[in-house]
Chain A
Amino acid sequence: MRELWPWLRTLDRYRWRLAGGAVLLLLTVLSGIGLLGLSGWFLTATAMAGAAGTMLNIYLPGGGIRFFALSRTVTRYLERLANHDTVLRLLADFRVRLFDRFARQSHEQRNQERTMNRLNRMTRDLDALDNLFLRLIAPLGVAVLASLVVSVLSLLIDRRLAVEVGVVLLSTTAVVSVGCALLSRRQARRESTGREALRAELVASLDGMAELQAAGLLTADQERLLEQDRRIRRDQAGPARLAALAQSLATIAVQGLAVWALVRGLAADQTAIAVLVALGILGAGEALAALPPAFSRWGATVASAARLNNTEAESAEGLRPSPPEWPGNDALILDNVSVRTPDGLYRVRDLSLTAQPGEWVGIVGPSGSGKSTVASLIAGLMQPTEGHVLRNGRIVPPVHDGYLVDQAAQLACLMQETELISGTVRDNLCLGAPNATDAACWSALETAELASTVRLWQDGLQSRVGPAGRQLSGGEARRLALARTLMPGSPFVLLDEPFTGIDRPTVGQIRANLRRALQGTTGIALAHDEAALPPVDRVVRL
């Protein structure tokens, strides 16, 4: 329950919309009760009047019946639309907020978690929270109100009946909501957690299909997934059966109560009123019938909320104060930098290095010598344990700080991993230069020796690269990522193993092109040996 608080609090922003939805919901239920109750009363009253030969004002109740008939339809339609719209708005809000939180996570925090889990949070867990208002809070409120209304109606017969009706309806409401939630809590939670895990494993199996198929293990792996799915569905069926049972119990309680009220009313010689109350109880029963299926998912909703809250705890909140000015120039400086792992091992030790404005420095070292760490430091993906990294006379802030400010990227990076986004060639090129012209795109592609390939594709710059750029070959993807760093607007460039996966003749041509293209920028390039570096002014060994 505690898990839900932060989400209930955000409902506050929409309180007027929510209140409007709740009022409509109440009107719908009241119209339903009114229609049935009034019809029954009218019928009975006319029969008695007909038998006794007395006159009865038929116009008032007749009008009431017609009014309720219309109002029930209209309020129900409006209520459903209004409430669904509110919930979807709420979800859109939640989703962007969650994206913000993820964007504020550091590179390191991000690497500790599967991307898949994050996506689940963005879509499924948030959707599960729509249960919260539309299926849990609002219907429960309506059931309680409907019970009270019918109970007040029963006052027309006598006070004892009113108490009985109130007690039975409210306790039935409690049993089919809270009882259902408590009994199915564990299974529903297990189903929800299991499903998240299964989905991650499914994606893993799809991602690793080549490896599994090569090893001849794909069929076995898929069988395992199906078996896991069956287990989860067992956990899903339990609460579903419980909900059906609760619904049956509610039917018995409500109909039994209606008969009881009728008998009591007849005994009290208030026939017409008795029929009205009995039919009113049946109307209120409709509000109760919606509760068990929703409340049997309670455990899942809480589990989703708990997962979402975890994300909140993980991410660093708030912006840091802007870094202090440093007396310096437009250089890129590593000043006595060290990075240590939590267990005290040095990944980089006392490194000092300066790339003067317009200068290109190459860093070479074997695998494990800390090249990736240095690249992460310069990019702002990692902070040094000691010393400072400076750019333009300022300490380089973590990239996840000040994340919402759209700024032309000061530093264009090509990291060791080729990361492309789904979309077009142009989308990928213009990540850091949103207003770049087509000419600039082609020029960058020329330098990366990709222009002739892209020209052959039907859609040119608008060709789609597939999810994570997977429709490109390894070399093409790498060259596109390289071209991205060559777009105009970034005075600093960082290249980490720029030529990975590109064939030797092409590398030669790109190196020749880069001599001209890198002029006027300040940069650092890292590679395992000098042959894999772009043209640089000097080389440092790690």
Chain B
Amino acid sequence: MQLGLVAWIVDQVVMRGQPIAHQGPPLAGVALAIAIRAVAQLARDWIAVRASDRVRDDVRRELLSRWATLGPVATNDSPAARASAWDDQVEALHGHIAHYVPQSRLSVLSPLLIVGVVMTLDAVAGTFLLFAAPLIPLFMALVGMGAERYNQQHFETLAHLSGHFLDRMRAMTTLQLFGHIGATRRDIARRTDDYRRITMKTLRIAFLSSAVLEFFAAVSIAVIAMYVGFALLGSLSVGPAKDLTLFSGLFILLLAPEFFQPLRQLALHYHDRAAALGAAANLERHLSVALPVPTTPPEAIQPDRIADGIELRRLSLGFPGKAMVLDGVDLTVAKGECLVLTGASGAGKSSLLHLIAGFRQPDAGEVRVFGNPPGTQPFGWLGQHPYLMQGSWADNLRLVCPKASDDDIEAALTRAGLGALVAERPAGIHSPLSETGVGLSGGQARRLALARTFLADYPLVLLDEPTAALDRETEVLVLDAIQRLIDGRRTIIIASHHPEVLTLASRVLAIEDGEVRDA
């Protein structure tokens, strides 16, 4: 509208010889139109930001809940790859939702409107625009199809790159010790360069789509300018050309770039869209990982079964490419029992603990913990790779029991045989774990993790190799601490091949060739 008024002013002034001073009202109209346009633009952007915000929130929530269901021992993706999906790739959706989607609506409506206006002014110019318009999405779609595929590859490369970096950063000490830094450096340079080449491949195509559009826009402006110019000179006498005035001609010329503007904007955001689609494909992979199905539907639980023990029925578990780890295991652990599982390393001790913990779903059979599916109630857990967080001793214990008082924490650490070590530190339990830059020793880390199981009064405690990497002295402390856990109320299951641990047991079972036998 504002452009029409402008063209009208020019026409009035030039062709009718009216002085510019008389154009007050139309000028005010122009100002108003500019203001309306600016406000509408602002509203559009603000609303878009809001919509994208909602979507990102939903996707992130869904991802987290998926990963929780898959459980902590699923090794489909490294934490780094997951973090990259949760953060970067969900973020990539933003451009699509906030820019591409509104723009794609606009790029249909607004050119149609403009074509309509131009048609009423000059049918030839209007027809020309009408012809140019459908060509553009066609070309863009052709080009875009290629870009999409490359984009997906681009995101996969990026995720691998992240995973690779994190892994090498973690193992930096080992790389240094083995004189492997130079080789790793070359490897990183090569991978980064690969990333550049893949990205450039994507971009060459993505930019081509916008170049096609630019070209059409530029050519249309040029052609319309020539057409209108010749018409105004009076050299065209066919069709509507002879009715063209400076007003309609200039108006058409001003409208021509506006006709292409939404489409050009769309092409700019097409990059967003391609990135979002690549990210979406990757997120889809995370969201569509087959969730383990409970092998027994919850309604099949018989309430009369012992509700105060642990029951395993015909439990089987295997890993692809390896022999069955557990093959139809039947086992009942009474409440208050202290059961020790032994067996060679790799025999399936940890896997059985994971099943009881609910970290993994069995291939067949069922697990009941106090009558419930596993993992329903909190329990004490000591894994083979205890998780230690950056922070103080207290932070590390509060991780599993945020309400614990300082006294509780000190008591738990003391029971795990860490009392003296912590007392030595200047700030006691509030000192950071690695004060001098040297981390905890393997034994200390294990005892810290053991202290976590002492913190709350868990009815079930699962310990995976609690005495690995301990010296005699600490071992005695830890065994003593485990001994104190055994009070006839708590049910304790320990995976260990340590002879001293076996003596604590009320029952010892050996896992061998997928079966559980009395040892």
| Contact B378 A215, beta carbon cutoff 8 Å | yes
A384→B216 CA distance, assembly (Å): 72
In the complex, the answer to whether A467 meets B163 with C-beta atoms within 8 Å is yes
Residue of A nearest to B34 (CB): A255
Interface string of B215-259 (1 = CB under 8 A from A): 100110110111011101110000000000110011001100100
- Do A111 and B225 have beta carbons less than 8 Å apart? no
A42 with B437, Cβ < 8 A, contacts A241-B46, A405-B182 known: no
- Assess whether A96 is in contact with B421, with CB atoms less than 8 Å apart: no
Contact-size category for A? 35 or more
Which residue of B is nearest A122, CB measured?
B165
Give B65's nearest chain A residue, CB to CB.
A222
Determine whether B141 belongs to the interface, using a CB cutoff of 8 Å to chain A.
no
Inter-chain contacts of A199 with B (CB < 8 A):
83, 87
Question: Which residue in B183, B426, B437, B456 is a CB contact (below 8 Å) of A109?
Answer: B437
Asked whether any CB of chain A lies closer than 8 Å to the CB of B192, the reply is: yes
Q: Are A240 and B49 in contact (CB under 8 A)?
A: yes
Q: Whole-angstrom distance between the alpha carbons of A58 and B233 in the complex?
A: 10
Question: What residues of chain A lie closer than 8 Å to B15, measured between beta carbons?
Answer: 47, 51
A468 touches B472 (CB 8 A): no
- Residues of B490-516 whose CB lies within 8 A of A: 497-499
Contact between A421 and B188, CB atoms less than 8 A apart: no
Q: Which 4 A-B pairs have the closest CB atoms?
A: A528-B471, A475-B345, A244-B45, A214-B381
Contacts A/B (CB < 8 Å), 9 sampled:
A36-B221, A103-B175, A112-B437, A210-B72, A213-B71, A367-B443, A367-B474, A431-B175, A432-B177
A337 vs B209: C-alpha distance when bound (angstroms): 68
Q: Is the C-beta of A538 less than 8 angstroms from some C-beta in chain B?
A: no
A410 to chain B: closest residue by CB: B179
When C-beta atoms are compared, the residue in chain B nearest to A529 turns out to be B472
**Which residue of chain B has the shortest Cβ distance to A502 in the bound complex?**
B345
| B49–A203 CB distance below 8 A | no
The interface-forming segment of B55-63, B112-120, B277-285, B307-315 is: B55-63
Q: Are B438 and A497 in contact (CB under 8 A)?
A: no
| Closest partner residue, chain A, to B88 (CB atom) | A124
Q: Which of B98, B346, B385, B471 contacts A475 (CB 8 A)?
A: B346
Q: Which residues of A contact B161 (CB under 8 A)?
A: 123
In this assembly, does A352 line the interface, its C-beta being within 8 Å of a C-beta of chain B? no
Write the chain A residue with the least CB distance to B202: A84
Most chain A CB within a 10 A radius of its CB, from B65, B88, B179, B350:
B179
A141 touches B (CB below 8 Å): no
A501 within 8 A of B: yes
Cβ–Cβ contact A47 & B225, under 8 A: no
Which B residues are in CB contact (< 8 Å) with A275? 10, 250
How far apart are the CA atoms of A514 and B233 in the complex, in Å?
Answer: 100
Please provide the chain B residues from 430 to 455 with a CB less than 8 Å away from any CB of chain A in the complex: 434-439, 441-444, 449, 452
- What 0/1 readout, one digit per residue, does chain B (372-404) give for beta carbons within 8 Å of chain A? 000101111101111101100000000111100
A110 on the B face (CB < 8 A): yes
CA distance A8 to B247 in the complex (A): 50
CB distance from A331 to the nearest CB of B (A): 20
Q: A103-B185, A365-B471, A419-B174 are in contact. List 9 more A-B contacts (CB 8 A).
A: A35-B218, A36-B221, A44-B10, A92-B189, A95-B192, A203-B83, A214-B400, A241-B49, A468-B171
CB-defined contacts of B290 to chain A, threshold 8 Å: none
Quick check: B192 and A419 within 8 Å, CB to CB? no
Quick check: A252 and B34 within 8 Å, CB to CB?
yes
B45 A247 Cβ-Cβ under 8 A: yes
Q: Is the beta-carbon distance between A123 and B53 smaller than 8 angstroms?
A: no
Interchain CB contact under 8 A, A431 and B192: no
**A470 to B73, alpha carbons, bound, how many Å?**
9
Which of B246, B379, B400, B426 touches A343 (beta carbons < 8 Å)? Answer: B426
Q: Interface segment, B36-44, B144-152, B480-488?
A: B36-44
Q: Which of A46, A100, A105, A382 has the most CB of B within 10 A?
A: A46
B31: Cβ under 8 A from any A Cβ: yes
A372 CB–B CB distance under 8 Å: yes
Cα(A344)–Cα(B399), bound, Å:
32
Task: Check if A456 sits within 8 Å of B207, measured CB to CB.
Answer: no
**Which residue from B219, B224, B471 sits with its C-beta under 8 Å from A366?**
B471
Interface 1/0 per residue, A416-447 and B, CB below 8 Å: 11011110000000011010000000000000
Chain A nearest CB, measured from B105 CB (Å)? 17
Residue from A111, A409, A453 whose CB has the most chain B CB atoms within 10 Å: A111
CB neighbours of B452 from chain A (8 A): 211, 215
Q: Are A69 and B474 in contact (CB under 8 A)?
A: no
Query: Is B443 a contact partner of A91 (Cβ separation < 8 A)?
Result: no
Q: When the two chains form the complex, which single residue of A116, A218, A262 contacts B68, counting CB atoms closer than 8 Å?
A: A218
Q: How far is the CA of A382 from the CA of B163 in the complex (A)?
A: 28
Residues of A within 8 A of B470 (CB): 367, 528
Over the window 169-187 of chain B, the binary record of Cβ atoms lying under 8 Å from chain A Cβ atoms (1 yes, 0 no) is 1111111111111111100
Judged by a CB distance under 8 angstroms, whether B337 is at the interface is no
| Cβ contacts B193-224/A at 8 Å (1 or 0 each) | 10110011001100110110011001101101
A300–B138 Cα distance when bound, in Å, is 38
Q: Give chain A interface residues in 83-118, CB to chain B under 8 Å.
A: 84-85, 88-89, 91-92, 95-96, 99-100, 102-103, 105, 107-112, 114-116, 118
Structural contact, A80 and B203, CB atoms closer than 8 A: yes
Pairwise interchain contact B177-A413, C-beta atoms closer than 8 A: yes
Q: Is B469 in the interface zone, CB < 8 Å from A?
A: yes
In the complex the two chains form, is B344's CB within 8 Å of A212's CB? Answer: no
Q: Let me know if B468 is at the binding interface, CB within 8 A.
A: yes
State whether the Cβ of A415 lies closer than 8 Å to any Cβ in chain B. yes
A111 touches B381 (CB 8 A): no
Asked if B80 CB lies within 8 Å of chain A CBs, one says yes
Interface 1/0s, chain B 99-121, versus A by CB < 8 A? Answer: 00000000000000000000000
CA distance A51 to B15 in the complex (A): 8
- Provide the residues of chain A in CB contact with B193, threshold 8 Å: 92
Is B64 on the interface with A (CB-CB < 8 A)? yes
Interface residues of A, dominant DSSP: helix
Alpha-carbon distance A356/B497, docked complex (angstroms):
36
Q: Is A128 an interface residue (CB 8 A)?
A: no
Cβ-defined contact, A214 with B357, below 8 A: yes
A359 on interface, CB distance cutoff 8 Å:
no
Flag whether B166 is at the interface (Cβ < 8 A). yes
> Are the CB atoms of A422 and B164 closer together than 8 Å?
yes
User: In the complex, which of the residues B20, B179, B188, B229 contacts A96, with contact meaning CB atoms closer than 8 Å?
Assistant: B188
Chain B residue contacts of A198, Cβ below 8 A: 87
Say if the beta carbon of A189 comes within 8 Å of chain B: no
Contacts of B176 in A (CB 8 A): 103, 107, 381, 399-400, 403
- Whether A43 lies near B229 (C-beta < 8 A) is yes
In the complex, whether A503 has a CB less than 8 A from a CB of chain B is yes
Within the assembled complex, what's the spacing in Å between the Cα atoms of A103 and B172?
A: 7
- Cβ of B290 to closest chain A Cβ, rounded Å: 19
Contacts of A122 in B (CB 8 A): 165, 169
Q: Are B442 and A256 in contact (CB under 8 A)?
A: no
Q: Which residues of A contact B381 (CB under 8 A)?
A: 210-211, 214-215
- Chain B nearest CB from A304 CB (Å) reads 14
Check if A20 is an interface residue, CB within 8 A of chain B. Answer: no
Asked if residues A43 and B185 are in contact (CB atoms below 8 Å), the reply is no
Q: Which of A60-68, A168-176, A305-313, A387-395 contacts B (4 or more CB under 8 A)?
A: A60-68
Binds B, one of A159-167, A223-231, A321-329, A517-525: A223-231
Q: Are A42 and B345 in contact (CB under 8 A)?
A: no
Q: A505 within 8 Å of B by Cβ?
A: yes
A536 at the interface (CB under 8 A from B): no
With A39-B253, A72-B214 as contacts: A409 and B182 at CB distance below 8 Å: no
Check A215/B49 contact, CB under 8 A, given A77-B207, A209-B72, A259-B6.
no
Are B68's CB and A219's CB within 8 A? yes
Report A464-501 residues with CB < 8 Å from chain B CB: 466-468, 470-471, 473-476, 484, 497, 500-501
B218 touches A456 (CB 8 A): no
Give A81 to B207 CA distance when docked, in angstroms. Answer: 8
Interface string of A398-411 (1 = CB under 8 A from B): 01100111111101
B27 within 8 A of A: yes
Q: Could you tell me if A263 and B359 are in contact, using CB atoms closer than 8 angstroms?
A: no
The residues of A that contact B322 with a CB separation of less than 8 Å are 456-457
